[in-house]
Structures are given as C-alpha cells and as structure tokens.
Structure 1
C-alpha cells in the first residue's frame, strides 16, 4: 500500500506541474489538479496539509527531477566540460522557450509569483536554484581544468550570472513570444566562456 500512496502523491505533483507551468499557482485550484491526476477529492489532505505545503512539495519534486537531469547532462561521457555546459543551455533553449514547456519551466513561471505568496515555496525555489548554480559552478571549474573554457572572474560568479541571464531571457521570450532572447543568451554564454 505505501507504494500506491507514493504513486498517488507523485501523480498529484506531476499533474500540478503540467497545469501550473501553463497557468501559474494562484490560478489553479486543487480540484483541477486532482481531476487531472484522477485522484478523488478527499485524498488531497491525506498527502498535503495545505495548498502551501502542496506547493512546496511540488517545487521540491520539480527541482529533484531537474537536478537529476542536469547531473546527467553534466556527466555525459566523452565530452569536454564546455560541450556539456553548452548541451545544458541548448536543452534549456529547447524546453524553456516560447511554446508549451510541459512542466519543465516552473522556476521561470512561478518564481516571482510564489516568492511573494509563500515563504516555504520561496525557500524551496531558493534551495533549488542555488543547487543548479552549484552544479554550473562545478562544470565551469571542470572546464577550466580540462582547458575547454576560459573565464574572467570566478566560476561561482559566472555560474550565477549565466543562470540569472538565462532566467531573464526565458521571461523575455515569454513576454515577446519570441525565442530571440534565448538566442542572445546562447551567444553571450559562448562569449563569457570564451568558446
């Protein structure tokens, strides 16, 4: 029975990610999520104490999946660190762009909204995005070591600047309904890594 409960909880979180990546957090009711997950109404509070606790769990699940994917990309065998980093940004461009992101752009979609609504969700976002920057810093340091990149400044500062730039470019791509800001981010990323 615990496996089924875990599956049900995960189904709720997955459905929420899909819906909220399109509509945002505040615009989505719990009933809509439960209906999409095929879960009875009364089940929600068995898994989550409140919508806030649910939102925090959703963000943590999102980042766990995101970080696992990032770890795979940054560990791809047979590539230089620079190639791995550029594969990450290329994947971002493809999955975070103007079209349907299918649950893959929660940090972009919900970042500003939930940071003002919920301290628990803000902290989950902060922890998740910090973990991404940590991994980017490690990849930049690996690129310096293998000679595939050169940078001005520290790996940490560049990792943070690149992540911030890509988040901003993703928001601008949504605002303009044009992928141009992500193309610009790709060009500037290559310049900053001296590729």
Structure 2
C-alpha cells in the first residue's frame, strides 16, 4: 500500500476512534466535527476528504464500532473448554462490566446513540439494524448450541430468546444510565439465568 494511502487510512481510523470515544460520552448531535478532528489530530477542512457527508461519517462510525464489537463477541462466544451456556453467560458478564463503567454511562454506542440517530439518519439507522441483527444472530447460534449440548433450556425458539435477551439488556443498560447504578443490570443477569439455564 502506498504511503499516502496508508496515511489516509490511518487518519480515517483516527477520526473514527476519536469520534467513538467522544460520542460514547456526549452523544451524536452534541459533538461537532471540529472537536472530533482536533482529538484525532487531523486538520480542519479535511473531513470531507475522508467522508462524503456527516451521515456517511455516522454510518462509518457505527460500522467500525460493530466490526470491533462483533470480533470481541466472537472471541467471548468461542472460548474453549466452556459449555454454550457458560459462553453465553460470559458474554452477558462482559456486557455488565462495560456498562458499569463511568458511573454506569457505559461504552456501548448502541445504548448511547440508537434512539437519537435512528430519527436523524436513515443510513445510521440501517447500520444499527445490521449491527444489532448480527449480535442477535450470534446469540441465537450460541443458544441453539446450548440446546444441543444440553446446557440451555428455553421456552420458545432460539431466535425469539436471543431477541428477548438482547432487548432486555439494552433496556437495562438505558435504565442503569438513568439511575446511575447497576441494579438493573443485575436484574437482567438474574432474568437471563432463569430464561436460559436448566
């Protein structure tokens, strides 16, 4: 790869990484592009060299977030030596830990941005839909694996259960932000155990 292309890729990545850190705390609309560019160490005025529009930037931000998130999720759900139920609970434990940081303000861009950007930008809404569908797909496969190895018992289909669990944890994470404590996440963990473990 030529040096110029490498620098361009690095600058684009720096912009996305800086935006992710800032928006995890402030949201999407409250963050100006100049703040992101300054944090990324990229000159003002060069934003449109890397992104066609603010919508395209938001879409790329979410796609980048989900790429990293799904890679982490895949590692958690593929831990050797664990049953499907143990891998599934390890995923929820990791969720609880990441959503407990910063006075329960968490690190999840879905929790932080979903309601805000779904009405602002169709490309961002679709990126959220694609990313969350991919999460639910992985949960569904793990639940199905647990049915096969006998470590998971559910009422309903693996897909319905995966969707219900994800929705519950998303809601619990929002409530943890509102209450600024992890009690909602602990309730979600207890309910998850009841829903999937024999």
Give TM-score scaled by structure 1 length.
0.97
| 2:28/2:116 contact within 8 Å kept | yes
Tell me the equivalent position of 2:28: 25
Tell me the equivalent position of 1:67: 70
| 2:85/2:152 contact within 8 Å kept | yes
Give TM-score scaled by structure 2 length.
0.95
2:39 to 36, 39, 61: 36
Gaps of 5+ in 2: none
Gaps of 5+ in 1: none
Q: Structure 1 residue 117 and structure 2 residue 120: aligned?
A: yes
C-alpha separation in 2, matches of 1:120 and 1:97: 29
Decide whether aligned partners of structure 1 residues 103 and 187 sit closer, same or farther in structure 2, where only a CA change above 3 A counts: closer
C-alpha deviation, 1:52, in angstroms: 1.1
Please list, as runs of the form range in 1=range in 2, the aligned pairs for 1:121-136 lying within 5 A after superposition. 121-136=124-139
Aligned pairs, number = 195
Please list, as runs of the form range in 1=range in 2, the aligned pairs for 1:10-159 lying within 5 A after superposition. 10-97=13-100, 99=102, 104-159=107-162
| 2:104/2:181 contact within 8 Å kept | no
Decide whether aligned partners of structure 1 residues 102 and 6 sit closer, same or farther in structure 2, where only a CA change above 3 A counts: farther
2:8 to 5, 8, 19: 5
Q: Could you list the runs of 4 or more consecutive aligned residues of structure 1 that deviate by over 6 angstroms after TM superposition?
A: 100-103
Decide whether aligned partners of structure 1 residues 159 and 91 sit closer, same or farther in structure 2, where only a CA change above 3 A counts: same
Alignment RMSD (CA, Å): 1.4
